[in-house]
Chains A and B, each alone.
Chain A
């Protein structure tokens, strides 16, 4: 996910201002993360679907889909 960090290629946490009522899908579009690259989104360590509406101060983690063995 590092290439999608707006502050340069890094996996360091960063803060983002979003309009009230923004959902996860909106956030992913803002960060230009392609649909296929973001199967797993966790908000405060709980997996949420793309239509989950984000609240102020929540911590979002986006993991790439991993299926290799």
Chain B
């Protein structure tokens, strides 16, 4: 039986969005239709949304993604999360829950006990496991419609081009300056915007960097300066600041994918959670881009 017919048959209930009434599609129905039509869950969800049937799992997202069309746009998007520690683990989870259709996961590290205080993908039972393996398992349980492409390796000049191929956005969730600058080099070369995020102790920062924007050199200084790890090694990282910055990074990525809102371009948002201060500073005078239409 044809995909659209099955969706029409299984659609039920009513979901009201902007004065329009839509029918809903349960997770069980999406699974059943995918099995019957031998297609992916994502294909069923996209087909449903395009005929005005809302997979119930996205019902509460409609208002912030721009309705069914915005959800289709997210499902057709591809994002790379580079680094799956405190920032990347949560960022990947948030993008998965929102239904970003393809997520590339990159980390060569495995979980250890010192990760448990803040890295949401780490649990007492998966210590020693590669971070991408643990993350892939958890994310597949959250949203099986999302295609996950896992690289259990660190980002290098030899593998980054392949990892970033076809991505609409990259998330810099790394923990060293050298790797961050490397990611920026490849994003510029491949014309991919990226969302920079970093944390240390009570502090966090993020910025959206498009090719041609003032980039990490405007944040950390010229590229020829010593690229050390920053202050976080001596200061430590709690549970709270990575969650805060990861959440804001995910929101910027969603805005990029959807072409909505005012992006944090040409600006660095610096957060001091001890003092309760959010400070937005310009990275280069006169640079102030709006967020629309460059996806």
Determine if A67 is an interface residue (Cβ-Cβ < 8 Å). Answer: yes
B281 A64 Cβ-Cβ under 8 A: no
How many A residues face the partner with a CB closer than 8 A? 17
- From the candidates A37, A45, A69, name the one contacting B281 in the complex (CB within 8 A): A45
Min distance, Cβ B176 to any Cβ of chain A, angstroms: 6
Determine if A29 is an interface residue (Cβ-Cβ < 8 Å). Answer: no
Chain B binding site: helix, strand, loop or mixed by DSSP? mixed
Min distance, Cβ B256 to any Cβ of chain A, angstroms: 19
A46 B176 Cβ-Cβ under 8 A: no
Determine if B55 is an interface residue (Cβ-Cβ < 8 Å). Answer: no
- Residues facing B in A10-69 (CB within 8 A) are 11, 36-37, 39-40, 42, 45-47, 61, 63-69
- From the candidates B173, B279, B283, B285, name the one contacting A69 in the complex (CB within 8 A): B173
Min distance, Cβ A2 to any Cβ of chain B, angstroms: 9
Min distance, Cβ A54 to any Cβ of chain B, angstroms: 16
B218 A68 Cβ-Cβ under 8 A: no
- From the candidates B198, B275, B282, name the one contacting A11 in the complex (CB within 8 A): B275
Min distance, Cβ B126 to any Cβ of chain A, angstroms: 19
B230 A69 Cβ-Cβ under 8 A: no
* Chain B residue, CB-CB nearest to A12: B275
Give the CA-CA distance A63 to B198 in the complex, in Å: 13
Point out the residues of chain A lying under 8 angstroms from B205, CB to CB: 63, 66
Point out the residues of chain A lying under 8 angstroms from B218, CB to CB: 47
- Cross-chain pair count, CB within 8 angstroms: 85
- From the candidates A11, A47, A65, name the one contacting B230 in the complex (CB within 8 A): A65
B220 A39 Cβ-Cβ under 8 A: yes
A68 B284 Cβ-Cβ under 8 A: no
A68 B275 Cβ-Cβ under 8 A: no
- Residues facing A in B71-86 (CB within 8 A) are 83, 85-86
A67 B230 Cβ-Cβ under 8 A: yes
**Given known contacts A11-B272, A39-B221, is B231 in contact with A65 (CB within 8 Å)?**
yes
B200 A47 Cβ-Cβ under 8 A: no
Point out the residues of chain B lying under 8 angstroms from A63, CB to CB: 203, 205, 270
Give the CA-CA distance A45 to B267 in the complex, in Å: 9
A67 B284 Cβ-Cβ under 8 A: no
B285 A68 Cβ-Cβ under 8 A: no
- Residues facing A in B198-221 (CB within 8 A) are 198-200, 203-205, 218-221
Give the CA-CA distance A11 to B229 in the complex, in Å: 23
Point out the residues of chain B lying under 8 angstroms from A66, CB to CB: 198-200, 203-205, 230-232
Using A11-B274, A68-B229, A68-B232 as known contacts, list a sample of 18 further A-B pairs with CB atoms less than 8 Å apart, ordered by residue number in A. A11-B272, A36-B226, A39-B220, A40-B220, A40-B221, A40-B268, A46-B281, A46-B285, A47-B219, A47-B281, A61-B279, A66-B230, A66-B232, A67-B228, A67-B229, A68-B200, A68-B233, A69-B87
27 residue pairs of the A-B complex, CB under 8 angstroms, read: A42-B281, A42-B282, A45-B280, A45-B282, A46-B281, A46-B285, A47-B219, A47-B281, A47-B283, A61-B279, A63-B205, A63-B270, A64-B200, A64-B203, A65-B228, A66-B199, A66-B231, A67-B176, A67-B177, A68-B86, A68-B229, A68-B233, A68-B237, A69-B83, A69-B86, A69-B87, A69-B199
